[in-house]
Amino acid sequence: MPILNTILGIVVSIVLAAIVLMIVSRLNMGLKVSGFGAAAIAAIVIAVIAGVITWFLALLGITIGGGLLGAIMALIVAAVVLLFAARFVPGLEVKGFGGAIIAAIGIAIVTWLGNWFLGLFGL
């Protein structure tokens, strides 16, 4: 039943991403989500847009890489993804490019803390 495991993994990823978006929204970090449904739709749209942008950059021969420059590029790509997603998802509002940068940092921190916490329990 590998397909069932794949579907379950996708659903869990969407739910966790929606929870992260809700947390960042409640912290007033440049992003506002009207509810969990909008956050779930935003999580899907963000994943699709990020995949397309990453594919397009790779097609052009541009890789994000590591180090400080890689982190800055990843942050800019994340901010652009949030701005694009806000145009397509009703209930998702991003407060300009500065707000998108702050929200991207907030999403990264909340995701890191969540992964760290789950790692404490071996998950």
Q: Say what the pLDDT of residue 123 is.
A: 67
pLDDT tens-digit map of 95-110: 989 889 998 888 888 8
Minimal CA–CA distance to 117: which of 28, 45, 19?
A: 19
Question: CA triplet 8, 109, 47: central angle to 5 degrees?
Answer: 40
DSSP string, 73-119: HHHHHHHHHHHHHHHHSTTEEE-HHHHHHHHHHHHHHHHHHHHHHHH
pLDDT grade, residue 34 (50/70/90)? very high
Specify which residues 93 forms β-bridges with: 32
Minimal CA–CA distance to 50: which of 8, 24, 17, 28?
A: 17
What pTM did the predictor assign? 0.80
